């Protein structure tokens, strides 16, 4: 139980941050799961969009402080390696027109 106004406010802020971080982590896990499923199905279009959404979600979660930056980088790296192995043509950059 909070004894002072400051500790009451800090407890309220902590609950607010915890709720936000839980939502961010949950949506990140969902995006990652969707990407892994799409890659395992070898559906090129679906896998590419799911991969990009997962990378975006992980980067955003790391920048907001919901997950550590190193963890996000590791997950992105492993997802990229998996995607390149399963669908090599999916992550190739488009050729620039001259």
Per the structure, how many domains does the chain have? 1
The reply to whether 93 falls in a domain is no
Instruction: For residue 24, give its domain range.
Output: 8-86
Between CA 67 and CA 80 the distance in angstroms is 19
The reply to whether 51 falls in a domain is yes
> Which structure tokens are listed for 16?
């607010």
Following DSSP, what letter does each residue of 67-95 receive, concatenated? Answer: S-HHHHHHHHHHHHHHHHHH-TTTSPPPP
The reply to whether 1 falls in a domain is no
pLDDT tens digits, the chain, 98 residues: what are they?
Answer: 778 999 999 999 999 999 999 999 999 999 999 999 999 998 888 999 999 999 999 999 999 999 999 999 999 999 999 999 988 876 666 565 55
The reply to whether 25 falls in a domain is yes
Report the CATH number at residue 45. Answer: 1.20.58.110
Distance separating the N- and C-terminal Cα atoms of the chain: 67
């Amino acid at each position: 139980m909070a004894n002072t106004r400051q500790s009451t406010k800090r407890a309220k802020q902590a609950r607010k941050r915890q709720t936000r971080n839980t939502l961010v982590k949950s949506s990140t896990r969902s995006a990652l799961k969707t990407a892994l499923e799409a890659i395992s199905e070898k559906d090129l279009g679906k896998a590419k969009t799911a991969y990009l959404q997962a990378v975006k979600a992980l980067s955003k979660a790391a920048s907001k402080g919901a997950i550590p930056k190193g963890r996000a980088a590791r997950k992105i790296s492993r997802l990229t390696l998996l995607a390149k192995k399963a669908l090599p043509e999916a992550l190739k950059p488009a050729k620039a027109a001259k």
